[in-house]
Structure 1
Amino acid sequence: MVTVSSWLRSPCPALVVDAVGAVHGMNDAARTLFPEQVLPPDLRHGESVHVADRSYAAHRVDNEDGSVTWWLLDETDLLLERDRAALLARMSSELMTSLNPERCMNVVAELAAEHLADEAVVIAPPSGNGHPVTRCLRGGTPTYELQRVDVEEVVGLSEALRGFPPVPSRWIDPAAAPGWLAQDVVSIVVTPLPGHGVPAGALILIRRDKQFTEAEEAFARLFASRAGVAISAASLFTQQASITERLTRDLLPPVLHRYEHVELAGRYRASGDTERVGGDFYDVHELPDDQLFVLFGDVCGKGLDAAVQTGRVRTAVHALLQVVTDHDQVLHALNQALLTTDESRFITTVVGTISPEAGGLRVRLTSGGHLPPLVVRTNGEVEAARNKGTLVGILPKILTETDEVVLAPGDSLLLYTDGITEAHGGPLGDEEFGEDRLHRALTACGGMPAEALVEHVHMLASQWVGGGEHDDMAVVAITAPRRRPS
């Protein structure tokens, strides 16, 4: 039971109202809140009432004499913390949906302008020719651009952008703020955006009508810490994705094109649908006298490890060709290089030198344990090149065999990996595509341009596999151009 003395001494505002709504008594806390002793007109049990920029939850207690005691419980700080928790949850949810730094900066600026300031500016560390900057006015749309700004003009900004050692928020004299940052404002706070061991940038909060309080600045630091983690994660992901793309591009076979005397075309498909690189490879190098050196092969295994080995092979051959172009010497040197490399994988390969001659092409081929290339004549005849050899990178010495193929105008030489012939598929999904099926398919390809030939073979193998598993697939066509009418 609440005694008269206890409710009068309570720090919680309390008012006693009679049956007609007249105020009969107040404690000291209520008199401070309602100096004119006027009851708020919208007072209802269980609902909130706003008085002097604060919010109170009204609770009614009926007394025996018919009067009512109203207790007003200050819930301002509770509601503020609830709103702030909701803001942090909303920001985390929106930032989790993107690993794009620009998108993250826009989200942070927009939420900060909506809940913390009249305007928010997010500045990231320098990138290229300037600083990525996002601005947003309350109720507006964030704008992102790369700007050349002098961060030394803003006190604490350069320190915040460096990220280490950690620095506190800085209150900026609005009169000292440069024009590019803000004009006609009354309060500016610069808060660092701490990231995962790397600086994510700085959040600048701007107000035009009132100062920031210490409590607001403290929450801004908490807001900035969540934002900084998300922005830095997005930046790191973007950097890693860029590095991965650059490395992947170097591991992929090159795009082949038509030379003056030779048509070249290639197709490549990695074993996994989500992978871009694998263990099949090909490369073309220009030699003197309009000659071309072709490297084609297959690394034992598949996936990233095999792709790394293809990069080593292609780099090694490129270096060897600066001093020697003889097939046997290139393959023997490559064999020694692979044997002396830790965690190396053996390969099958075929190298060829293409020489233009009157009426067509002469191709000299040397095999390092690879499948014999196929010659496709314009009349549909298909024949295999006569060269064999041992695997490269597994024995101290290798045996090689060289063959020469003459291509008349319209004839093609097809290089392919076992991913084509060993592709499992068909009606039951367990039958190899096989060399016989490839030979029969090529009889209908006489006279095809190089681009059409490789596309046709690649399409047949892909259709045979369907959605099943397969090894890396690579195919290259070397075609003697048809004579143009004079």
Structure 2
Amino acid sequence: MGTDVDVFLSRLAQELRPRAAQSVDVLLQRLRSELPELWTYEDVAALALEETTAHVNVFLDMFEHGLDVIEVEAPPEALELSRRFAQSGIPLSKLLRTYRLGHMSLLQLMQAEAARLTSDWELINAASIKLIAIAFEYVDRGSEEVVAAYQEERDRRLQRKLILINEASKRIGTTLDTARTAQELADVGTGEFADLITVDLLDSVLREEGTPPPAGAPTLCRIAQRSVLSGCPDSAVATGERHTYPAGSEPAHALATGQSLLCRVTASGAPAWLAASSDRRDFLHTVGLHSILLLPLQARGDTLGLAQFFRHRTAAPFDEDDLLLAQEIAARAAVYIDNARRYTHERATALTLQRSLLPQRVVEQSAVVTAARYLPSGSRAGVGGDWYDVIPLSGARVALVVGDVVGRGLHAAATMGRLRTAVRAFADIDLMPDELLTHLDDVVIRLQREEARDAGETSATCLYAIYDPVSRLCSLASAGHVLPAVATPPAADGDAPASRSVDFLEMPIGPPLGLGGLPFETTQFELSEGSLLTLFTDGLIESRTGDVDVARTVLRDVLARAPMPPEEICDRLLAALLPSRPADDVALLVARTRALDPGHVATLPLPSDPAAVAGARSFTSDTLTTWGLEELAFATELMVSELVTNSIRYGKSPIHLRLILQDTLTCEVFDASSTAPHLRRARTFDEGGRGLLLVAQLAERWGTRHSREGKVIWAEQALPDNLIRR
């Protein structure tokens, strides 16, 4: 009987072979009616025909040729279909049900054909029993292979997702540049995950700090994109181009609601918002665009823009798992984009504040010729608190200042402004460098006490120098700041080119500002006329990769060259030491010293005797006549009379009168007393108290400066416009 059954089953397979295609259609109709949801996946539906045909042929081959089911493997099409199920995110239970349903339907077709071929029910029953046994064995063995292929593909897909997430965490947010961060998002997702990624940011986000929720059809800027096709022909918007999405379109809805969308593009054509022209629709149909992910970029409650993921070369459409993965990557990128945007805004604000607090132009000085540069750092740390200043002082002197506030950003820039203002205020009362730094140290300590704990510790360094063109003395003190370089005037040696001797000062450096209780020390040295005093912050010579000694050598070489204007010296120093953007802020101040013409300085020693006042007035009148300033004689004699009288009455010997002609006319009276005069309101019957008030009315500026030897009371007058300023 067994042989008869085998022969009958072989005949049954031969009878069905010509009608295999018809049998496949019947099986597919059964599957479509039982599992209609599978036919929404176009790639699965297309492959189902091949897979069903392969199974029918394997079945017929087994019975027609009497093959052992143990030796028969599942057809490659079945394994490929299982992988497509895994790629599309279709549950494994659906795959197994499809597999069992298809084979059961094929078994029923063969049983029906068996009843048509013979009326021998005993043979039919025996054939059915063997047919069922072989079919179940085939299904069991095939299911194992199909499930293994499904799990392998699912694991591979999961691994790719993990790799993509890991790549995103490594490659997105490497800089604080908004456009670069957006491009990193496009670069990471294109290829393995999507065929085209575009990143649009709201125009308001790029222009303003705040990000109000978009209303209507907001304007966006295509800030980044990447495609598997060279040149991004599958994108209708070029990078940097501004555009809008129609109200009611899917992108506009995603922007307005903040909800991600998965869109499928049917064979009938792309949506209107994606293809505005028939040519564009034809192109998208040609490349095979079939699914899109729309992902609003949101960070800290604000919508920044929209990222779009497209597939056209990748056969598998996006599914819900892909949407979740893309959402995670986009959310991560949105935070980095927002960080970059906020950093850019804060950096621009801090840089604007920084530049506004620095000297806006070089003020011409009779004591020095100066040039200065400020370079913000190129690092992600932000703008620092480096500053410089040139402050005119009494007696034709000038103060040169360079400082560096510890920290970055707006706080450092604001602190720098407060310290620069404080330095100017202390300079206005003519403090010695060490005294000025002591008062500035107190200011920093007070700032530390006033500021919030989370603001960080306020600290700074400062270098304060005073140059006197009359004596050519430079007085200098440092609070933790790098010392300047001093270049003497070039000395010609025969026919050899002129060269400068360049030295870095060696002197005590005090502690940084903000420590308190520690002394500062003023060092004095004489400078020849034409010397170069180069003050700078540590960012000029210190870097993460460079050597400080090498940088000092380069600085020395530049300063030692033939005489150049300070402006050119600044440019050459920056070009030699900082060929690229510095890692730290840099403030640079170069000053070429001048010496005042001895003929523009007149000094008269005075005895501590009221009768000396007449001699002082006569000396003043004669000096002004020599200088051609007779127009100022009356007012100047009055001021000299009051200042000398004040020193004789309240001061101590020795007493000196000095007249200085520069851009202004300065009268100075020195005495050995440290008591400072002050203005007071004289009452009606008071015999004194009006001298300094008279001086204040006649002078353009007046004041007192102290030294270790005593004090100087000085008063300045503007020169007449009709006179040539010497």
TM-score, length basis structure 1: 0.55
1:235 paired residue among 318, 337, 343:
337
d(CA) in 2 for partners of 1:452, 1:24: 94
Counterpart-to-counterpart distance in 1, 2:389 and 2:566: 15
Residue 416 of structure 1, CA deviation: 6.3
The residue aligned with 1:283 is 388
Contact 1:251 1:307 in 2 (8 A): no
Task: For residue 161 of structure 1, report the CA deviation from its aligned partner.
Answer: 2.0
Tell me the residue number matched to 1:125.
202
In structure 1, what is the Cα distance between the partners aligned to 2:305 and 2:555? 62
Are positions 1:145 and 2:240 aligned together? yes
Which one-letter code corresponds to 1:284 in the other structure?
D
Structure 1 residues 90 and 154: CA distance shift in structure 2, 3 A: farther
* Aligned residue runs from structure 1 range 155-194, under 5 A: 155=249, 157-161=251-255, 164=258, 166=259, 182=276, 191-193=294-296
1:316/1:332 CA distance change after superposition, 3 Å: farther
Q: Name 2:371's counterpart in structure 1.
A: 264
**Could you say what secondary structure the match of 2:202 adopts?**
coil
Give unmatched runs, 5+ long, in structure 2. 1-10, 31-42, 90-156, 174-179, 208-218, 450-455, 492-499, 579-583, 596-726
- Describe the SS at the equivalent of 1:145: coil
Q: Which of 389, 394, 408 is 2:515 aligned to?
A: 394
Higher strand share: 1
Question: Residue 56 and residue 354 in structure 1: after superposition, are their counterparts in 2 closer, same or farther (change >3 A)?
Answer: farther
Q: CA deviation at 1:79?
A: 1.5
1:348-404 deviation per Cα after TM superposition (whole angstroms, max 9, x unaligned)? 53323568x79xx96764424567756432135678989978544333585664858
Bigger relative contact order, structure 1 or 2 (CA pairs below 8 A, ≥6 apart): 1
Counterpart of 2:464 in structure 1: which amino acid? V
Evaluate the alpha carbon distance shift between residue 280 and residue 160 of structure 1 in structure 2; reply closer, same or farther with a 3 A threshold.
Answer: closer
**Helix, strand or coil at the partner of 1:477:** strand
Q: Which one of the candidate residues 480, 487, 499 is aligned to 1:376? A: 487
In structure 1, give the amino acid aligned to 2:437: L
1:413 to 514, 527, 533: 533
Q: Does residue 65 of structure 2 align to residue 66 of structure 1? A: yes
Change (3 A) 1:367 1:183: same
Q: Is the CA contact (8 Å cut-off) linking 2:358 and 2:387 kept in structure 1?
A: yes
Residue 103 of structure 1 is matched in structure 2 by 183
Q: CA RMSD in A?
A: 6.7
Paired residue for 1:338, among 418, 438, 444? 444
Counterpart of 1:263 in structure 2: which amino acid? Answer: T
Q: 1:294 aligns with which of 384, 389, 400?
A: 400
Q: Distance in 2 between matches of 1:385 and 1:49?
A: 81
In structure 1, what residue type is equivalent to 2:590?
A: A
3-state DSSP of counterpart to 1:479: strand
CA distance in 1, matches of 2:202, 2:514: 47
Structure 2 residue matching 1:22: 3-state secondary structure: helix
Equivalent residue for 1:22?
Answer: 17
- Asked if the contact 1:414–1:475 (Cα under 8 Å) also holds between the matched residues in 2, the reply is yes
Q: 1:477 to 1:169 in 2, by over 3 A?
A: same
Q: Percent of counterpart pairs with the same letter?
A: 12
- 2:590 maps to 477
- Encode CA deviations 1:93-124: one digit per residue, 9 max, x unaligned: 88664553542575599779976xxx987544
How many residue pairs align between the two structures?
Answer: 417
CA distance in 2, matches of 1:195, 1:110: 21
Q: Per the alignment, do residues 17 and 344 of structure 1 end up closer, same or farther by CA in structure 2, a change over 3 Å counting?
A: same
Residues 291 and 179 of structure 1: CA distance in aligned 2, closer, same or farther (over 3 Å): farther
Greater helix share, structure number: 2
Question: How far off is 1:232 after superposition?
Answer: 1.5
Alpha carbons 1:200, 1:232 under 8 Å: kept: yes
1:238 Cα deviation after fit? 3.0
CA distance in 1, matches of 2:200, 2:537: 52
Residues 406-485 of structure 1 mapped to structure 2, 5 A cutoff: 408=529, 410-415=530-535, 447=563, 449-450=565-566, 476-480=589-593
3-state SS of paired residue (1:56): helix
